[in-house]
Amino acid sequence: MTAPEHHTVADNVRSLFPGYFAMVMATGIIAVGAAQQDLTWLGDGLYLIAAVTYVTLAVLLIWRLLIASRLLAADITSHTKGFAFLTTVAATNVLGSVANVTAYNTGLKYYTVAVSGNTATGYTLTATRKGDLANDPKCGNFTLTMSAGVVTPNVSTGDVNYCWRK
């Protein structure tokens, strides 16, 4: 009888399966359904689980990139594992959708957030009013422009604290 193999955390990170982001997808989808059925306590709880899982997996994926970039590249180009990386993209989308319907991000309930002007050194985030705030004279649209490491905020009208945290 042989002794069981001992794996360090770094060993496990080196072989991290990219499809684990499917847990975020599944949990997030159930959270959206719960929120739509007015089971807010369940939707909020599942969102919290999905968000913590997403952040944990993102950190592990970045760690894997740093300590095992060749293994990561091999998995990305693998015919059997490559498609599993798409769960990362889908999980990001689902997590954003869940944030839009749960109580954890009230700002997204009243604003549509878009990214534009993506370049190697910059981008623009635009938050456009929707729903109850669409015609509120106290609220406006927000932009945040990042260019060459410099962030420039802009509010078309209104008070950021009143509108975003309402």
To the nearest 10°, report the CA torsion of 85, 87, 88, 89: 110
The domain boundary, picked from 73, 101, 129, lies at: 101
Q: Are residues 14 and 93 in the same domain?
A: yes
Residue 41, domain extent: 8-101
Query: What total number of domains does the chain contain?
Result: 2
Q: Are residues 118 and 164 in the same domain?
A: yes
> Is residue 140 one of the residues assigned to a domain?
yes
Could you report the per-residue pLDDT of 105-130, keeping only the tens digit for each? Answer: 555 667 777 777 777 777 888 888 88
Q: Are residues 69 and 52 in the same domain?
A: yes
> Is residue 2 one of the residues assigned to a domain?
no
Q: Which residue from 99, 24, 29 is spatially nearest to 60, judged by alpha carbons? A: 24
CA-to-CA separations, 119 to 89, 92, 112, 148, 153, in angstroms, rounded:
20, 21, 21, 10, 18
CA-to-CA separations, 99 to 3, 28, 36, 81, 158, in angstroms, rounded:
46, 9, 13, 29, 24
Q: What are the tokens at 156? A: 């078309």
> Is residue 46 one of the residues assigned to a domain?
yes
The domain boundary, picked from 71, 101, 131, lies at: 101
Q: Are residues 67 and 48 in the same domain?
A: yes
Could you report the per-residue pLDDT of 53-93, keeping only the tens digit for each? Answer: 999 999 999 999 999 999 999 999 999 988 999 999 999 88
To the nearest 10°, report the CA torsion of 50, 52, 54, 60: -150
Could you report the per-residue pLDDT of 23-47, keeping only the tens digit for each? Answer: 999 999 999 899 888 888 898 889 8
Q: Are residues 94 and 39 in the same domain?
A: yes
The domain boundary, picked from 101, 133, 149, lies at: 101
Average pLDDT over residues 152-166: 71
**pTM, whole model, 2 decimals?**
0.62
Q: Are residues 26 and 82 in the same domain?
A: yes
Q: Are residues 93 and 137 in the same domain?
A: no
Q: Which residue from 21, 20, 33 is spatially nearest to 89, judged by alpha carbons? A: 21
Q: Are residues 69 and 113 in the same domain?
A: no
> Is residue 3 one of the residues assigned to a domain?
no
Q: What are the tokens at 97? A: 């959708």
> Is residue 1 one of the residues assigned to a domain?
no
Question: Which class for 138: exposed (0-12), middle (13-18), buried (19 or more C-beta within 10 A)?
Answer: exposed
> Is residue 92 one of the residues assigned to a domain?
yes
At 120, is the secondary structure helix, strand, or coil? Answer: coil
Q: Are residues 58 and 111 in the same domain?
A: no
